[in-house]
């Protein structure tokens, strides 16, 4: 199928999914972009950026990125490795001497930068504690997208007081590790994380709207949460109580955190951006001699460092640098190819890159958590692969 026919088929297939999702009020609005062989073949916004004011969604609408921040910070870290400023096998204490969380036994194990990047450091997130009860909640540790407005230094001080949940390198748990990595980057460069990201990533890739700050006048979408009969605008703060499949945890959102200068720059969840710029970023990762690296960074990021035995995104998925890596498509029951890297964001986002098809897909919605793990992203993926 030539590019024009592929693009036409893709438009028909995805637009049908969008129309159905809007009509059934599963999402309020979205931006979906698809690139094949490095060329964008589908780019469309649907629904509302703000339903109450009837502001339509646009392809350049701005979203709170939540964990879509992670691959951007990961890429910056890999660029610093190339420059000799970071060593992934070095202990975190080489850069942050006071970051010394211990095991139950009282032993202080070595946590390396590789452990941070792969979420195998023995840390976790506060939202992983059932019913909001546990050390992370008692110590009021910020997850990086909540209302707790403290410095990064203070958050790491609190994190150091927790007990590691396993010996680093022996298991996997999604965690605040990328926030720690953000502090490592600041220590190694003696610059703010925002400055490093701008210098290494967003400026070379012409991503002016992607960063850690935003003006009140910017076109940030209104974020919504799942409700019946339709999603509702998310207040600040908003506490989403999760089910058993999420360990009965509580997601603590604060859509206004991005405006708070006292809230630290979270390397795991603190950025704002749009889908157009994020697809530019993904395509740069997949290219050799790209503007940010002499290497094809996706080759490092999409390597399966963590076994799929840990089912990091369900059966068949391991973990790389910046996202889950598909090790066994048959077990995962997905049309995506082996080696696909994918991750999500709790404000309602999903993205992936399939190296078998040289296919990059970005799905940004303003509806949590349907846009992240509901029926909508699943249907979009099915629509994309029907056309390939």
Catalytic residue IDs: 67
- Report residue 128 as tokens: 């992983």
Helices (H), the chain: 3-23, 69-82, 113-117, 135-138, 152-160, 177-189, 193-197, 275-285, 297-301, 329-332, 370-373, 375-387
Q: Which residues of 302-324 are buried (b: 16+ CB within 10 A; e: fewer)?
A: bebbbebebebbeebbbbbbbbb
Contact 153, 193 (CB under 8 A): no
- Report residue 76 as tokens: 């910056």
Contact 361, 380 (CB under 8 A): yes
State the Cα–Cα distance between residues 233 and 186, nearest whole angstrom: 35
How far, CA to CA in Å, does 191 sit from each of 51, 144, 185, 186, 195?
Answer: 39, 19, 8, 5, 6
Residue 137 phi, psi dihedral angles, 5° rounding: -75, -40
């Amino acid at each position: 199928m030539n590019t024009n026919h592929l693009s036409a088929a893709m438009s028909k297939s995805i637009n049908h999914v969008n129309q159905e999702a809007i009509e059934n009020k599963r999402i309020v609005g979205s931006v979906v972009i698809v690139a094949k062989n490095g060329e964008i073949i589908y780019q469309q916004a649907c629904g509302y950026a703000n339903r109450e004011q009837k502001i339509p969604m646009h392809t350049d609408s701005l979203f709170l990125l939540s964990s879509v921040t992670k691959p951007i910070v990961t890429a910056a870290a890999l660029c610093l490795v190339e420059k000799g400023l970071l060593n992934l096998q070095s202990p975190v204490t080489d850069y942050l001497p006071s970051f010394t969380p211990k095991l139950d036994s009282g032993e202080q194990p070595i946590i390396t930068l590789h452990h941070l990047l792969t979420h195998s450091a023995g840390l976790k997130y506060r939202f992983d504690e059932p019913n909001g009860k546990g050390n992370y909640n008692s110590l009021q540790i910020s997850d990086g997208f909540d209302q707790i407005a403290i410095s990064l230094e203070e958050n790491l001080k609190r994190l150091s007081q927790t007990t590691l949940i396993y010996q680093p390198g022996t298991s996997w748990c999604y965690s605040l590790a990328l926030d720690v990595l953000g502090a490592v980057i600041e220590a190694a460069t003696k610059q703010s994380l925002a400055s490093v990201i701008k210098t290494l990533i967003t400026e070379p890739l012409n991503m002016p709207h992607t960063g850690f700050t935003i003006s009140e006048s910017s076109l940030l979408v209104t974020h919504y949460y799942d409700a019946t009969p339709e999603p509702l605008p998310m207040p600040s703060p908003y506490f989403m109580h999760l089910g058993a499949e999420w360990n009965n945890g509580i997601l603590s959102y604060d859509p206004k955190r991005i405006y708070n200068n006292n809230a630290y720059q979270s390397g795991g969840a603190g950025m704002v951006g749009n889908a157009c710029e994020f697809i530019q970023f993904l395509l740069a990762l997949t290219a050799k001699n790209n503007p940010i690296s002499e290497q094809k960074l996706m080759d490092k990021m999409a390597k399966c460092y963590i076994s799929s035995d840990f089912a990091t995104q369900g059966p068949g998925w391991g973990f790389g640098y910046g996202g889950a890596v598909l090790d066994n498509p048959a077990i995962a029951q997905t049309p995506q190819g082996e080696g696909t890297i994918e991750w999500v964001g709790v404000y309602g986002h999903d993205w992936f890159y399939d190296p078998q098809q040289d296919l990059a897909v970005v799905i940004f919605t303003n509806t949590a958590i349907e846009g992240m793990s509901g029926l909508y992203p699943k249907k979009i993926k099915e629509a994309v692969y029907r056309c390939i």
